[in-house]
């Protein structure tokens, strides 16, 4: 969610652009970058739901997903802080 919030703030308030084709496509369809936050929330909830059904190694996968999501979110937030 940190990544989605940072992207929303960066695009709407600082004039940054989106790098990824799919996300840019969703923003163009919706007309606002606010669409990123619910989409990312749905993806997170879906991933957690799928991982709850799996017993083996699900904790490790959850940690890996957290790290992969937190890294870009933290980077985007730091870029906004320095902008």
pLDDT tops 80 at residue 83 = no
Number of domains into which the chain is organized: 1
Average pLDDT, the chain: 88
What's residue 26's pLDDT? Answer: 92
What's residue 15's pLDDT? Answer: 86
- What does DSSP assign to residue 55? -
- Cα separation of 28 and 31, whole Å? 5
Reported as a pLDDT band with limits 50, 70 and 90, residue 25 is very high
Range of the domain at 43: 2-82
pLDDT tens for each residue of 59-79 = 888 899 899 889 888 988 898
Other beta carbons less than 10 A from residue 13's beta carbon:
10
- Give the C-alpha distances (Å, rounded to integers) separating 73 from 2, 3, 4, 25, 79: 5, 4, 7, 20, 10
Dihedral sign for Cα 21, 77, 47, 33, please: negative
Q: Which residue has the higher pLDDT, 83 or 63?
A: 63
């Amino acid at each position: 969610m940190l990544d989605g919030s940072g992207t929303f703030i960066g695009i709407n308030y600082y004039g940054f652009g989106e790098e990824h084709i799919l996300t840019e496509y969703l923003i163009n369809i919706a007309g606002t970058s606010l669409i990123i936050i619910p989409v990312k929330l749905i993806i997170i909830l879906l991933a957690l739901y799928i991982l709850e059904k799996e017993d083996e190694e699900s904790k490790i996968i959850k940690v890996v997903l957290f790290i992969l999501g937190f890294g870009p979110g933290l980077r985007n937030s730091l870029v906004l802080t320095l902008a």
